[in-house]
Amino acid sequence: MTQQSSEAKRPIKFRAWHDGRYYYSDNITEFPELWMFWRFVCRHLIINVEQFTGLTDCKDKGKEAYFGDIAKDEHGQVFVIEWDYPLLARLAEIWFEVVGNVHTDSHLLEGADEQTDSTG
């Protein structure tokens, strides 16, 4: 008899930025199977593929957080969600809201460095 882990496993999902919009790997209308998503990515030479972090923000119904999203913490500090273990561990424990992404909302990052420098 095998013992199953009591830990919940996060779904493995991706999104690709192409021609001004996101394509999601779990959109069964566009990509009934995961390999179709990757074929689309390769065919269009898409280099902006972002993975789901397994976390959702604390606002409303919990928006999924992907690498490349722009988020804001409870103190109003704005930052990019990146593949960084200490950052991901911190996000799992604090209040944060996904407020945009690096492709369409980079203006939200203006002044973020000065904000960090003045507080840290």
Quote the pLDDT of residue 85. Answer: 85
Quote the pLDDT of residue 22. Answer: 95
Q: CA-to-CA distance for 18 and 24, rounded, in angstroms?
A: 11
pLDDT digits (tens, 9 = 90+) for 61-76: 899 999 999 999 999 9
User: In which residue ranges of the chain is pLDDT below 50?
Assistant: 1-6, 116-120
Tell me the CA distances in angstroms from 9 to 12, 55, 59, 77, 102, one per residue in order: 9, 11, 22, 29, 27
In one letter, which amino acid is 34? L
pLDDT digits (tens, 9 = 90+) for 73-91: 999 999 999 988 888 888 8
Six-digit token string for 15: 């999104």
- Domains of the chain plus CATH, in order, are 12-47 (no CATH), 57-120 (2.30.30)
